[in-house]
Amino acid sequence: MNWKKLRTAVLLIVSTMVLASCGFGSSSSSKSSKYTTTGDANSGTYEGVIKNGKYQVSKSRGVNVAQNDNTFNLKSFESGLLNVSKKVFSTKSYIFQEGQYLNTDTIENWLGRKSKSNKTGLNPVKGKTNGKRNPIYVQQIEEQDYMKQSGDNLKLHGITIGIGLNSVDYYRKTTNGPQYKQKISDADLRAYGEEAAQKILKRMRQKKGLENVPIVIALYKQASNDSLVGGTFFEYSSNKGTQLSSWKQMNVKNAVYPKASDATTSNSDGQTDNNTFDNFKSQVQSFFPNLSGVTAQAQYQDGDLSGMHITVTTQFYSETEITSFTQYISQAAAKYLPSGIPIDIKIQSSQEMQAFVYRDSGQSKFSSHVFDSY
Amino acid sequence: MNWKKLRTAVLLIVSTMVLASCGFGSSSSSKSSKYTTTGDANSGTYEGVIKNGKYQVSKSRGVNVAQNDNTFNLKSFESGLLNVSKKVFSTKSYIFQEGQYLNTDTIENWLGRKSKSNKTGLNPVKGKTNGKRNPIYVQQIEEQDYMKQSGDNLKLHGITIGIGLNSVDYYRKTTNGPQYKQKISDADLRAYGEEAAQKILKRMRQKKGLENVPIVIALYKQASNDSLVGGTFFEYSSNKGTQLSSWKQMNVKNAVYPKASDATTSNSDGQTDNNTFDNFKSQVQSFFPNLSGVTAQAQYQDGDLSGMHITVTTQFYSETEITSFTQYISQAAAKYLPSGIPIDIKIQSSQEMQAFVYRDSGQSKFSSHVFDSY
């Protein structure tokens, strides 16, 4: 949209002038805050907020890093929450800002168990209910803010809150003791998550400036710690008041290919896609003399394959081998992998990524790049 | 070219039929060899040879890996040799094949010192000349073959030989003793390289099938082991007979930015580009709260900056930070870095590459990709 580009351009010039007058690395001392944005590198992604030349980081920065033993849960939680937000706040009209209303202390308290010293804890008291240990249900919480231009400033027009709910709770009875795990059923984590969502909504409505802003709350089921793919969001609620409105269901599933040979083999369970992937894998492995590891993360939305992240690991003996292998994989990907969905393929040695083949959303051909060196 | 695409398509179909009839991973037992190519992923790169569905690796595969303590010398030697080849063998008419005429034993013997047991050694006897130790001059040798379609087969139409010559020879007096180094002047390594080139040319002319094929020989000056960028080719000779024809000079220089503060500061020495890069670096570092390491390899051809490989390393706390940082870098790169040359920027955490911004040769805009995960 033209007004948006113009605005970005104007803000950029203003920002550059501020930067130029202040010198690099210093924060602006001007009275009114100067905003600009990161620019949208790709369509379908949000621009991010830059304040006085610096990226505006989250007020609870880093909390979720510590909350996730499986880093796949960290990445998929944040990317998934962006995708939920896109259903409500269009990337064309809204600008993304890292959460500014819930700070580290607040989130850490909320993630704790409820106790005398932590009345806001969203997790149950440790004590047993019906003879069973109460697990930790709420594992991570993320706030994302959605802004619109308002005169010289940006104004909050929406918030999205993600709640990550354990499907398995890992715990120790003593500090250095063995690790135990407690499974949580889908029904239980959903019920507990919906209760927590209602509490969070009420608490946020009490904060200054959040009385009337649209607040989306989305529930995410954490993958287990040994999973090779992260969890998924399964429902969200878009709210204008203090009482939660109805939940909208999301049908997102993740899979890892190739499947273990003892996995279920019904077509509905991605067996066709697994076979397709196996074909691609066999082609790649027969092409190159060193055995290549070929694995994929796949995502399904409403039952349809919506994208893949593929990793090919092998040993290379020369730069020309990397180049030829990359060309071959581009060709094999176009021939053997499903069309019409975004796919990226990392080509790496044991040390580091050597090349990269990808087809982004909306592109019909694969592009590639070899990481060369002078 | 249409005939080339058609040929590739036909060869592909044939190859697929062969593969399908033989099963994956087995080599073809048909009487005549079946060739296909890797397809050219990008214009300006060679297609590579696939024989019976498998990549045709070098007959001296892996030798140069062992010959280079500094892996920058490995990558830049092979990429540089491809660039020399492109001056003589057009990527539009020739197909690349890994060297098939010089095998591991031959290359290893040639790289040794001349002795009674190794009469083909290209390096001098260890004994002293004029009271000085004779260094190892020839550090690595690479053969590249250039093919053209001929009926059902591919026929050799050219060979390129790269000779890597030490600017510093590292050695030990005893197996586990301390490492010493002996510098070699540009004049000495050139003179020695030209002599070695003449010997290699004569030897190759004696091989069956190489009596008349064009043979290009190119000389490369190895970077020192502590260099953060590889060496460069400085001359090449294109030969039809047994006597070396004249040498064509190449003016290629590599640089690393930011320069050490005590480096020379004349403009001719890339000081302007260093300042430009420093501007970019300051912008990136002031934008993000965690200090980012920002370094670059740059290459100059005939005095003009011809490309850059930039690496940005920082600590990220969330996927959204990676996305915003990548958007910002795309914007800053377009604004602060030189236009009209290929540039790639790796964005990485201490663990792995997180995103990637690049502008390939001939492109006017930067593209980017964030390595996401489900």
- Quickly list DSSP for B27-93: PP--SS--EEE---SSTTS--BEEETTEE---TTTTHHHHH-SSHHHHHHHHHHHHHHHHHHS-TTT
Min distance A52 CA to chain B CA atoms (Å):
9
Can you tell me the distance from the alpha carbon of A260 to that of A256, in angstroms, rounded to the nearest whole number? 9
Cα–Cα distance measured from residue B190 to residue A44, given in angstroms and rounded to the nearest whole number: 55
Token pair of B268, please? 């001719």
- pLDDT tier at A355 (50, 70, 90 boundaries)? very high
Residue A8 has pLDDT above 70, yes or no: no
The CA distance from A127 to the nearest CA of chain B, in Å, is: 33
Q: How far is A54 from chain B (nearest CA, A)?
A: 4
Q: Which two tokens stand for residue A248?
A: 């909208």
Distance between B345 CA and the closest CA of chain A, angstroms: 10
- Chain B CB within 8 Å of residue A78 CB: yes
Query: CB distance B24–A358 less than 8 Å?
Result: no
Q: What is the pLDDT of residue B272?
A: 85
| Least confident segment among A1-5, A51-55, A72-76, A321-325 | A1-5
Q: Using an 8 Å CB-CB cutoff, list chain B residues near A19.
A: 283, 286
pLDDT tens digit sequence for B12-26: 333 333 333 333 322
- Size of the A and B interface in Cβ pairs below 8 Å: 222
Q: Which residue of A has its CA nearest to B316?
A: A62
Distances (CA, A) of B246 to B177, B197, B211, B252, B262: 43, 12, 19, 19, 39
| A5 reaches B (C-beta below 8 A) | no
Cβ within 8 Å of residue B125, ≥6 positions away? B113, B114, B115, B134
From A3-12, B249-258, B315-324, B361-370, the region with the lowest mean pLDDT: A3-12
Among candidate residues A345, A342, A374, A373, the one with its CA nearest the CA of residue A357: A345
Q: Nearest CA of chain B to the CA of A155: how many Å? A: 19
Q: Residue A22 is encoded by which pair of tokens? A: 């202040």
**Burial readout B96-132 (b: 16 or more C-beta within 10 A, e: otherwise):** bbbbbbbeeebbbebbbebeeeeeebbbbeeeeeeee
The predicted-structure confidence for B336-353, as pLDDT tens digits, reads as follows: 999 999 999 999 998 899
Give per-residue pLDDT as tens, B161-217. 999 999 999 999 888 899 999 999 999 999 999 999 999 999 999 999 999 999 999
| Cα dihedral sign, A26-A151-A161-A1 | negative
- Residue A355 tokens, joined: 């090349």
Percent of chain A with pLDDT over 70: 87
B164, containing H or E segment: strand B153-165
Query: Which helix (H) or strand (E) segment is B180 a member of?
Result: strand B179-183
Q: Return phi, psi of residue A346, to 5°.
A: -85, 130
Q: Which residue type does B253 have?
A: K
Q: What is the mean pLDDT of chain B?
A: 87
Enter the tokens of residue A311: 């990793």
Identify the DSSP state of B177. S
- Specify the pLDDT at position B1: 39
Q: What is the pLDDT of residue A32?
A: 52
Which of A25-34, B58-67, B301-310 is predicted least confidently?
Answer: A25-34
Predicted confidence at residue B53, as pLDDT, reads: 84
- Rounded Cα distance, A73 and B318, in Å: 11
pLDDT at B42 over 90: no
Task: Check CB contact of A374 with chain B, cutoff 8 Å.
Answer: yes
Per-residue confidence (pLDDT) for residue B45, from 0 to 100: 87
Subunit contact A299:B230, Cβ cutoff 8 A: no
Most B-contacting residue of A140, A290, A318 (CB-CB within 10 A), to test interface: A318
Residue A360 at interface with chain B, using a CB cutoff of 8 Å = yes
* Contact status, residue A326 vs residue A347, Cβ threshold 8 Å: yes
Residue type, A251: N
Which region, left, alpha or beta, applies to residue A15 given φ > 0 means left and ψ of -120 to 50 means alpha?
alpha
What is the least distance, in Å, from the CA of B54 to any CA of chain A?
Answer: 4
How far is Cα B50 from Cα B28, in angstroms, rounded to an integer? 12
One CATH from 3.40.640.10, 3.30.300.190, 3.20.20.80, 3.40.50.300 for A255-370: 3.30.300.190
Instruction: Check CB contact under 8 Å for A326 and B297.
Output: no
Burial of residue B178, with CB atoms counted within 10 A of its CB: 0-12 exposed, 13-18 middle, 19 or more buried: exposed
Of the two residues A228 and A361, the one the predictor is more confident about is: A228
d(CA A54, CA A22) in angstroms, rounded, equals 13
Q: A326 in contact with B at a CB cutoff of 8 Å?
A: yes
Give the mean model confidence (pLDDT) for residues B228-243: 97
Decide if B214 contacts B205 (C-beta within 8 A).
no
Q: What pLDDT does B86 receive?
A: 96
B373–A72 CB contact, under 8 Å: yes
Q: Say if B191 is an interface residue toward chain A (CB within 8 Å).
A: no
Whether the CB of B48 is below 8 Å from some CB of chain A: the reply is yes
**CA-nearest residue of chain B to A13?**
B335
b/e map A304-332, b = 16+ CB within 10 Å: ebbbbbbbbbbebbbbbbbbbbbbbbbbb
Q: Which CATH number fits domain A57-250: 3.40.50.1820, 1.10.40.60, 3.10.570.10, 1.10.10.60?
A: 3.10.570.10
CA B8/CA A204 separation, integer angstroms: 62
Tokens in use for B109? Answer: 């013997």
Mind listing the pLDDT tens digit for each residue in A170-206? 999 888 899 999 999 999 999 999 999 999 999 999 9
Residue A238 confidence class, pLDDT cut points 50, 70, 90:
very high
Q: Do A48 and B79 touch (CB under 8 A)?
A: no
Q: Where residue B40 falls among pLDDT bands split at 50, 70, 90?
A: low
Phi, psi of B363 (to 5 degrees): -90, 150
Give me chain A's average pLDDT, please: 87
Rounded (10°) angle between helices A319-336 and A271-287: 150
Which pLDDT does position B152 carry in this prediction?
A: 81
Which pLDDT value is given to residue A9? 42
CB contact under 8 A, A41 and B371: no
Q: Which of B106, B121, B105, B102 is nearest to B161 (CA)?
A: B102
Q: Looking at residue A33, what is its pLDDT?
A: 62
> What residues of chain A lie within 8 A of the CB of B356, using their CB?
356, 369
- The residue that leads in pLDDT, B266 or B227, is B227
Lowest mean pLDDT among A80-84, A111-115, B28-32: B28-32
Which pLDDT does position A201 carry in this prediction? 98
Output the pLDDT for position A264. 52
B6, pLDDT greater than 60: no
Q: Is the pLDDT of residue A321 over 70?
A: yes
Euclidean distance between CA atoms A266 and B166, whole angstroms: 61
Contact state of B323 with A353 under an 8 Å Cβ cutoff: no
Q: Which residues of B touch A357 (CB under 8 A)?
A: 41
Predicted local confidence at residue A7, as pLDDT: 44
pTM for the model: 0.86
Q: Which residue has the tokens 């403009």?
A: B267
Q: What pLDDT score does B217 carry?
A: 98
Which residues make beta-bridge pairs with B49? B37
| A contact residues 127-186, partner B, Cβ 8 Å cutoff | 142, 144
Query: Does B371 sit within 8 Å of A344, measured CB to CB?
Result: yes
pLDDT at position A15: 38
Own/partner pairs, A17-20, CB within 8 angstroms, 24+ separation: A18/A52, A18/A53, A19/A53, A19/B283, A19/B286
User: 10 Å Cβ neighbour count for B212?
Assistant: 9
Distances (CA, A) of B270 to B111, B267, B304: 35, 6, 9
Q: A127 falls in which pLDDT band (50, 70, 90)?
A: confident
Taking alpha carbons only, the member of A274, B364, A337, A275 closest to residue A357 is A337
Please tell me which residue of chain A has the smallest CA distance to B61.
A317
- Single out the residue of B241, B240, B239, B204 nearest to residue B101, CA to CA: B204
SS3 A269: helix
CB contact under 8 A, B288 and A353: no
In this complex, the residue of B96, B356, B360 whose CB is nearest that of residue A356 is B356
Among the partner-chain residues B38, B64, B353, the one whose CB lies closest to the CB of A331 is B38
C-alpha dihedral over B67, B72, B76, B79, to 10 degrees?
A: 90
d(CA A33, CA A369): 40
Compute how many other C-beta atoms are within 10 angstroms of the C-beta atom of residue A44: 11
Chain B residue whose CA is closest to A326: B41
Disruptive mutation site among B45, B70, B374 for chain A (greatest number of A CBs within 10 Å): B374
pLDDT score for A13: 38
Q: Provide the CA B56 distance to its chain's centre, in angstroms.
A: 18
| ipTM higher than threshold 0.90 | no
Q: Does B94 touch chain A (CB under 8 A)?
A: no
User: Are A283 and B346 in contact (CB < 8 Å)?
Assistant: no
Q: Which residues contact B318 (CB under 8 A, 6 or more apart)?
A: A58, A61, A64, A65, A74, A78, A98, A142
Summarised one tens digit per residue, pLDDT across range B93-147 is 999 999 999 999 999 999 999 999 999 999 999 877 677 889 999 999 999 999 9
Cα-based distances in Å from A232 to A75, A194, A271, A299, B233? 11, 16, 20, 9, 52
- Residues contacting residue A107 through CB under 8 Å, at least 6 positions apart: A60, A63, A141
Residue B257's φ and ψ, nearest 5 degrees, are -120, 150
Q: Does B224 touch chain A (CB under 8 A)?
A: no
Domain boundaries, given as residue ranges, for chain B: 57-250, 255-370
Q: Does B17 touch chain A (CB under 8 A)?
A: no
Chain A residues with CB-CB distance to B353 below 8 A: 352-353
Task: Determine the residue among B63, B64, B310, B318 to mutate to test chain A binding: the one whose Cβ has the most chain A Cβ atoms within 10 Å.
Answer: B318
| HEC secondary structure over A148-217 | EEECCEEEEEEEEEEEEECCEEEEECCCCCCEEEEECCHHHHHHHHHHHHHHHHHHHHCCCCCCCCCEEE
- Whole-angstrom CA distances from B118 to B105, B127, B287 are 11, 15, 60
Closest CA to B342 of B93, B37, B92, B83: B83
Q: How many CB atoms lie within 10 A of CB B159?
A: 25
Structure tokens that stand for B368 in this block:
């980017």
> Does residue B8 have a pLDDT over 70?
no
The pLDDT value recorded for residue A107 is: 97
Q: Taking CB atoms and an 8 Å limit, are A289 and B57 in contact across chains?
A: yes
**Cβ–Cβ below 8 Å for A50 and B328:** yes
Measure the CA–CA gap between A181 and A168, rounded to whole angstroms.
Answer: 6
Nearest CB among B74, B318, B327 relative to A47 is that of B327
Task: For residues B335 and B287, give the distance between their C-alpha atoms in angstroms, rounded to a whole number.
Answer: 15
